[in-house]
Structure 1
Amino acid sequence: MAKKKNELWEWTKALVIAVLLAAVIRYFLFAPIVVDGLSMMPTLHDQDRMIVNKFSYTIGEPKRFDIIVFHAPENKDYIKRVIGLPGDKVEYKNDKLYINGEAYEEPYLDEYKADVVDGPLTESFTLEETPVGQATVPEGHLFVMGDNRRYSKDSRHIGAVSMEEILGKTNMVYWPIEDARIIKHK
């Protein structure tokens, strides 16, 4: 009888430790997320399942072209690409990205740009013409955009994203299994 109680106690301890460990990993380090919509096409597809690295920005800063997950104003989590960092002057002219006056290549848009026949993929704008409303990205904020520029609700519509709203960085699709891949950020 004592042996059965001891065995039950050991199994109970193992289960409690496993549950606690899973909770710590999910809350502090990694979490799953499902892509909802077409705003990151062709890079990410609707219903792709990804892992969010919540720890990445605890020890580092977001970099230009990282794909991040953040809390959006509609109580949803959005997945977008970092375009502008704090202090950057961001503008689009003739379907070309300029940051602080320097032109940047966006190879992840090449597929869509080749298919567009009725105007630019990304309409021209300056930060002053967006809800950011000033010449540069505010301190403590990021300017983000979806890769599917014509169909993305991003910083051009919701303004700059506060660093406090960022859940983490994502770059790994794990489902569907035939589409599992690491996403390059540039």
Structure 2
Amino acid sequence: MKKEVGEWLMAILVSVILIVLIRSFLFVSYSVDGLSMDPTFEDGDRVVANKIVEYFGGYETGDVVVFNSEVGPAYVKRVIGTPGDTVKMEDKQVYVNGEPLEEDYVVNTGDSYMDNFTLSDLGVEGGEIPQDQFLVLGDNRPISRDSRDFGMVDREQIIGEVQLRFWPLNRFGTNFD
């Protein structure tokens, strides 16, 4: 009996250690707060962010990331511009490096604040996104607080790339492009 209890305690201890290691270094779950990423994510959706994707190629245009905010809880937004890119928006069309960005996921209902912008409007000097910074926008542009409000997001602020929605179960998914 003592041996069996010891084995159970050891299994529980190993499980707890694995959970702590996974949450600390590999994956972490977040709850989407608000409608700024609608229709891709709805208020209350639960997602998993991959923390190690940065070490295997980094973040690219179109990736959905979770990042720490300086003004409150973490945000979930889409990467639109990466270091070295030029980005502007004219008449609700985003241009990255002079090419129109195809964005089937974007909600454009009515007029959005700041429909037109350039990087210089967002406080970026030199015309290109600086090293280790990213321009992020919400998919629901008319109501999203994003780089149009708070500027570029530093690489250090990014927690990870959203790779899984696990709640609600009827919206379970893995591809958010």
TM-score range, shorter chain: over 0.9
- Pick from 53, 62, 87 the counterpart of residue 90 of structure 1: 87
**Which protein has the bigger helix share?**
1
The question of whether the paired residues in 2 share the 8 Å contact of 1:95 and 1:121 is answered with no
Q: Which residue of 2 aligns with 1:54?
A: 51
Unaligned 5+ runs, structure 1: none
- Pick from 140, 154, 174 the counterpart of residue 148 of structure 1: 140
Residue 101 (structure 1) shift: 1.5
Instruction: Say which is worse superposed, 133-142 or 61-70, in terms of deviation.
Output: 133-142
The question of whether the paired residues in 2 share the 8 Å contact of 1:35 and 1:44 is answered with yes
Residue 5 (structure 1) shift: 2.1
Q: Which residue of 2 aligns with 1:24?
A: 21
Task: State the distance in 2 between where 1:183 and 1:47 align.
Answer: 18
Aligned residues: percent identity?
A: 38
Task: State the distance in 2 between where 1:154 and 1:46 align.
Answer: 16
- Pick from 32, 36, 48 the counterpart of residue 39 of structure 1: 36
The question of whether the paired residues in 2 share the 8 Å contact of 1:82 and 1:145 is answered with yes
Secondary structure of 2:105's aligned partner: helix
Measured on the aligned residues, the alpha-carbon RMSD in Å equals 1.6
C-alpha distance 121-184 of structure 1, shift in aligned 2 (>3 A) = farther
Task: State the distance in 2 between where 1:70 and 1:119 align.
Answer: 27
2:97 is equivalent to residue 100 of structure 1: yes
Task: State the distance in 1 between where 2:126 and 2:92 align.
Answer: 21
Residue by residue over 1:17-36, the C-alpha shift from the partner in whole angstroms, topping out at 9 and shown as x without a partner, is 01001111111111111000
Unaligned 5+ runs, structure 2: none
C-alpha distance 119-78 of structure 1, shift in aligned 2 (>3 A) = closer
TM-score (norm 2): 0.93
The question of whether the paired residues in 2 share the 8 Å contact of 1:122 and 1:149 is answered with no
Runs of 4+ in 1 over 4 A off after TM superposition: none
Q: Which residue of 1 aligns with 2:161?
A: 169
The question of whether the paired residues in 1 share the 8 Å contact of 2:88 and 2:118 is answered with yes
Residue 121 (structure 1) shift: 8.2
Residue by residue over 1:21-65, the C-alpha shift from the partner in whole angstroms, topping out at 9 and shown as x without a partner, is 111111111111100011101111000011111121122210111
